[in-house]
Structures are given as C-alpha cells and as structure tokens.
Amino acid sequence: MAFQVKAAPDEPDLLFLPWNHMLEEWPDEATVSLPKGISRHIVKFVRLHGIVYAIKETEQPIAEREYELLQRLGRRGVPCVEPVGVISGREDRQGHELPAALMTRHLEFSLPYRALFSSTLKPDTAIRLLDALALLLVRLHLVGFAWGDCSLSNTLFRRDAGSFAAYLVDAETGSLEGKLSDGQRSYDVDLAVTNVTGELMDLQVAGLLHETIDPIQTGEQIRERYERLWSAITSPLVMSPGERFKLDERMRKLNAMGFDVAEMMTSTPLHPSDDEIRIVMTPKVVDAGHHARRLIRLTGLDVEENQARRLLNDLDQYRLELGLKTDEEELAAHKWVTEAFEPVINAVPKGMRGKLEPAELYHEVLQHRWFMSEKAGKDVGRDKAVADYVKSILVNKPEEKAIIGSKIGSEMDDTQEMRIVFPSELEDIDEVELN
Amino acid sequence: MASVVFENASRLYPGATRPAVDKLNLEIKDGEFLVLVGPSGCGKSTSLRMLAGLEEVSDGHILIGDRDVTDVPPKDRDIAMVFQNYALYPHMTVEENMGFALKIAGVEKSEIHKRVLEAAKILDLEQYLERKPKALSGGQRQRVAMGRAIVRNPQVFLMDEPLSNLDAKLRVQTRTQIASLQRRLGVTTVYVTHDQVEAMTMGDRVAVLKDGLLMQVDTPTNLYNHPNNAFVAGFIGSPSMNLLDLNFDDQGVIVEGTHIPLPSASLSAAKAEGLSTITVGFRPEDLVESPNGFPLTVDFVEILGADAYVYGPVKTADGSEKQVTVRADGRKTPNRGDVIRIQPTADHLHVFSTKTGNRLG
C-alpha cells in the first residue's frame, strides 16, 4: 500500500517525520513517550514550530474512524482534541508494513488530571473535576455521542476561572448516533462511575488521594451530577396558557447554566378533557457556551465558559463605571479590551505568560485584587494588584502551556492509565536525525 | 448462567423505512458461544445492543433465563460487555485490579477474594495476584483485564468486535484464548464480528444476518456444508463459493455448453417456482478435473505452496462473464491460457433459486 496522508495538515513538516520507523523507535530528543498500554497503542508527542502534536499508532480503519469522529464532534462544537490527519501505508526500510497513525493537535494549556494536584487530590479539586466531566458527558450525549469509555484519563482539563473545562481526548470506543437511548446513556454513566472510582482507588493506593475522599462515594457523584444536569436541561416543562413566566424562568435558568435554547419542541395538549389546557414543552438545547459565545461576539476573545462569565461581569462593571448604557455594550467592550484586559496581560513579564492562559490570568488578577482590597479596606487598583500577583503568586506557578503528562508519571510506567512527562525537554524536530 | 431468547425482536429507528433488526427469533442455549456475523449494516451490533439494553426494542421480547428483560435497564440485566475497557490501574495489585468493580457493587471482602481467586485459577494468574500490572507481560495484563469481567459472574458475556483494534497476529492469538476461556467458564456468550473466519473458528453456532434478517443459524460445519441460501453460501468460506446463475433443462444446468447434472428434486422445485435460471454453487475445493467437465480457460494462477488457486471466466445465463475459482495441487498447476475441464463433485453441489436465493430441493 502506498504511503498516504488522509488530510493535508496545516503543518507540512509533519510529513517529514520519521514515518518509516515504528513510533517506539522515534528519537527521544524529539518526542515524549507514553508507555505502551496493555492493549492500547503507543502515543508520542512531537513539537513543530511551537505546536505540540500527539501521534497514536493504531490500525488504519480505527485511525480513520476516530479521525472522522473527532472531526464531526468538533464541527458540532463539542470540546475535544482536534484531529490533524491519518498517515497510512507506512513501511520500514525493509519494506515491512507499519501501523497507521492518527495525529491530533495538543490542546494548549490543557492538563491531564494527574497534573492538576501536587501532593494529593483534594476534595474540592475532585468535585470540580467531576463537575467538568459530568458536563462533558451531558454535552456529548446531547449531540448523540455514546462515549463507551468515559474516564478522567481519557479527558484533558483546562482551567476555567476556578473551575475546569473538560475535553474529550480518546474517541476510539465512541459512536455518534442520531439520538441516544436511555439505555445507552445509563450504560455510559455506569462506565464513567466505574472508571472514575477505579482511578480514585488507584490514587488512594498510591497515597495521592486526600484522606477525606471515599473513592466509591465520590465516583458515584458523577452519576448524580450527570442526572441533575440532564434533567435540568431536557425535562419537559408543563404549563398552562397564563404561565409564560415559567418558560422565561426556564430559559434564564438554562442560560445561567451556560446553555442556549434554539427552540421549544413538542407542544402537546395534556388531558384535553380537562377544563384547563396544559402544554408540554421540551427545550431543544443548542449547546453549552452561552457566555463564551456572547464574549466572543463582543470582544473576539475565545475563552472557556466560566472565564467568559467572569470577564462579562467585569465588562458590565466597567461599562457602569464609564457611565455607558446597556445598548452601548459594544462600545464598552471595545474600550474594556484595550484599556482593562490587555494592560493586565501586558503587565505580566513575557517569560511568565506560558504559565496560564490570558483569560485565566485575568481572572486570577481580578481575584487577587479583590483579596488585596479587602485586606487594605480600599480598592488597591489594577496596577498594584497585577504587580503583586506576579511577584507573589504567578512566579511560583508551573508552566502549563504544554504539559503533556504528570510529574509523577515516572512512578507508573507501563500501563495505560498514565500519561507521561516533561515537555520542557522537547526539542524542535529540526534537530533530530531522521535516518 | 442462562439462556438468551430473542422473540420476534425488532428495532425500527425513528424515520427509517426498514427495521435495522426485523423480527429476530433466536435461542441461545445456556453456556453456548454464539457468534453474530454479517456485512456492515446487517443488524448484528444492533441485535447485541438490544440484548445489552442499549437499544430500545421496538417490537417483540428479549429473555435472559426465564426473565423478560425487554424493558430492564442495562445494569440490571446481569450481563457483562467484555473488552470495552482495557484500563489497568498501575498502583493497584492484580487482585485489586480484578476485584475493584465488585467493591463498588458492595460485595463483601471475603466474597471478592473468593471470586478473584477462582478467576485467577482459570486465567493462570494465581501466582501474580500480589503483583502490580507493571510486573506482568502483555498477555498476562490482557488476562487481568478479562478477569475484571469474569469476577462479576454475569449470566451472559457480550462482545462487540473485541479484536478489531489488534493487529493480525495478536488477533489470531487472542481469538483462540477467548474461545478456550469461554469453554472453560461455560458462560453463555454472544459475540459480534464482521469476519466470517473469526465467526467460524470461535462459535459453537453462528447466526448469519443480512439487512436486519436472520439468514441462517447453525454450527460452523453445517453452515459451510449446507447453506440454506445463496447469501450464506457466498458469505461463509474463503475463498468464496462459486455461485453461477445458469440456464437449465431436464438434465441439469448448462455451463459453457456442458451439462452439470442436478438432482431431479432440485429441478422439479425450480420448475414449480417457475424459474428460468438456477443459481448453482460449488466451492473451489469441490471441483475435479474430468473429461466430462465444463471448459475453463485459465486466466490467472495463484500458488500458495501446497495449494494453488486457478481463476478463469465462464458465461452465465444473462451472457455476462463470472470468474470461477478452482483449488488445485500447488505442484501441478496449469498455465495461463490453458483450457482445463472441471466438474463439481455431486455431493457438494448447492442449488438455489435465482429468484429467492433459497436452497432448492
């Protein structure tokens, strides 16, 4: 079979990677290796011109299927890694066939869950992780995607104004259907509970789980969170003709949760014989990202949902301070970007900007300003807050722009559950001998 | 352990005109290894997912043991989907890795230990129970993953193309392992694959599906030797059976001006059906050279060692050419352009209705 690239990647240099070698044999200087899982695949990361790509070796039909699935999910606005291409028809120099490879673009500032805590996983972090994972599962189910292997390990997390936003990494076991049955959803949730509990138990055995966390009870919480969210989003609304307020209330609630509603479906009169006619309406949710979409429209800033919420609040306050009215929001937004947001980001020394995403930095500075002001009994002002934040907090944070694995990875060689290490050692591929 | 029954079970997707699974009637015996096989879109995965509770059953019933589970949620069906998750946890021992799902289910510690021990015996993992996954070989890790499903003592194992992400060599190895493990455990197993070789080598019985319909369910030997219809005849076996639509008279079918005699029962059945042509099937290995045989001009010879496959075209009833495959002795092969005369052995000649595809006589 001839060497074949399914999708021309934006990065032509990817074509010149040493495809005639097993991934396992690729030079260490260029890559960071994930140890081989028991039956999963070898995954390595390469960095080209500052962008990190994940490369996974697998059978060609599986690589192509996952590539298409990720593409379809991405088009539907589901948070997942971005597929770049499938390389097939690989042969080594003796002409032996090599497995196909799926390439995805590594998500900047995303972290595997094991990199989100330094000593032990604490209850509040665990809960925030489960919240993010439950929301991701709901969003996937809303578009008709049955995951088949929902777990913390198959997810990447981005910081989101004190919470986390979850991204699907591994779609290999999944399938995109028109609409999921209750059975499919509940099976997916069962798998998530089992997987997460297993992951927490493993942390516990390793002494990495805070002593107050019970893996079984905590794992079970993913079900509760999922079900609460699912029912809040999809349960039908019953109302009488004079109860329009119920509809408004429901829309507001969904918006507050970050969901947009495209239309209310199925208007069925209930009990037509009753004196009072009642109507059943089911919201057709477009997707999460209500605030993120509003912020991008106003400012062009593409950020996570909670970050957007935080930034929009700040923008509102800024507008009021300027004495601008609600209908002058766009003008206010323009001024806010150039006079509030950008100065804060620019005040951070360049060398430290890889530690947090700009929106997360801004959120942290806002928070820091609030703490400082409370302590001082008066507003300390932006410049002082940024300077103090950089000096006392940011300086101690690790670089998070391209963490590919956890720092504790080296202790856990050789099974599928871990993702490994040390991006700082990555070199540009130009320096690697390709022969 | 339990039997499984599909009783007129159908799945019609909203908006679809044809059911994905159409009135499936299938009885799987207690302890049996049943394989569902067929081309993509035949309804095999949908059937399995109906049994798992992942697809709604639009019509009919599904029973596990004596219990009607048609409307029972997946987790209450006492089934285990195997190989959906290969994850092993690096800090947990083999015993913990195998037993943790039981711990979640609230099973008592002593019971968990007992079940893990039993499974470890079957899987040859007894001496590794205290080890971490890191200290195991690839094959041992795979067995630990299997152990996770086994300790649950489910009534039925369900497997949906579990080998599809393995390379060819590992696929063959694991195929054997799963089949022998299933026999040792004696747990009723329903296994889905698109690969007929996998189906034939693994199943006690194989159910062949096409377009949502069950075409035949039988032992691998019977499917091979007595296919009920032309679809099964062509689907089972590699290389495929030769299937030719041919004109016929009172003696048999006519190919390249030569008769292939057919049993009178088949011929009268064809006449009764008002057929103008008959579909005749013979496997590549069921052809012998004979002066009375039909002529075949050799187009191509593929030598595999002991065996060779000889290919050549013949004209069918509608005038089109169809390639015939003949198995030959690898040491005595004809050359390209040679004309050989070959005849199907009477015992292994299959006769089907061109109209319905069903076996005649």
* Amino acid B319: pLDDT: 92
pLDDT at residue number A7: 67
Q: What pLDDT digit, counting tens, does each position of B209-223 carry?
A: 999 999 999 999 999
Give the gap in angstroms from C-alpha A177 to the nearest C-alpha of chain B. Answer: 11
At B75 the pLDDT is 86
Average pLDDT over residues B327-346: 94
Which chain B residue has the Cα nearest residue A188?
A: B54
Tell whether B55 lies on the interface with A, counting CB pairs under 8 A.
yes
Q: For the residues B259-276, what does the mean pLDDT come to? A: 94
Q: Which residue of B has its CA nearest to A173?
A: B84
A46: left (phi over 0), alpha (psi -120 to 50) or beta: beta
Which of B56, B75, B144 is closest, CB to CB, to A186?
B75
pLDDT at residue B83, as a whole number? 60
pLDDT of residue A253: 82
Q: Check: CB of residue B199 under 8 Å from CB of residue B163.
A: no
Alpha-carbon Rg for chain A, nearest whole angstrom, is 24
Instruction: Give the pLDDT confidence of A157-173 residue by residue, as tens digits.
Output: 988 888 889 999 888 88
A156 vs A111: CA distance, rounded Å: 5
pLDDT (0 to 100) of residue B215: 97
Torsions phi, psi for A65 (to 5 deg): -65, -45
* Poorest-pLDDT segment among A326-335, B28-37, B295-304: A326-335
Q: Find, among B34, B70, B66, the residue nearest to B51 by Cα.
A: B70
Geometric angle at alpha carbon A241, from A239 and A247, rounded to 5°: 50
pLDDT tens by residue, A35-46: 333 336 677 888
E strands, A184-342, are: 237-239, 259-270, 278-288
As given in the structure block, the two tokens for residue B297 are 């001009």
For B223-237, write each residue's pLDDT tens digit: 999 999 999 999 999
Write the residue in B74, B164, B167 that is nearest to A183 by C-beta. Answer: B74
Cβ pair A415:B88 closer than 8 A = yes
Nearest Cα to Cα of residue B179 among B32, B18, B332: B32
B74 vs A190: CB contact, 8 Å cut-off? yes
Give tens-digit pLDDT for B294-328. 999 999 999 999 999 999 999 999 999 999 999 99
Q: Does pLDDT of B355 surpass 90?
A: yes
d(CA B126, CA B95): 9
Residue in chain B nearest A416 by alpha carbon: B87
Q: Are B145 and A40 a contacting pair at CB < 8 A?
A: no
Q: What percentage of chain B carries pLDDT values higher than 70?
A: 98
ipTM: 0.80
Per-residue pLDDT at B118 exceeds 90: yes
- Provide, as residue numbers in chain B, all residues whose Cβ is less than 8 Å from the Cβ of A200: none
Strand order, beta sheet including A278-288? A237-239, A278-288, A259-270
Q: What is the pLDDT of residue A35?
A: 34
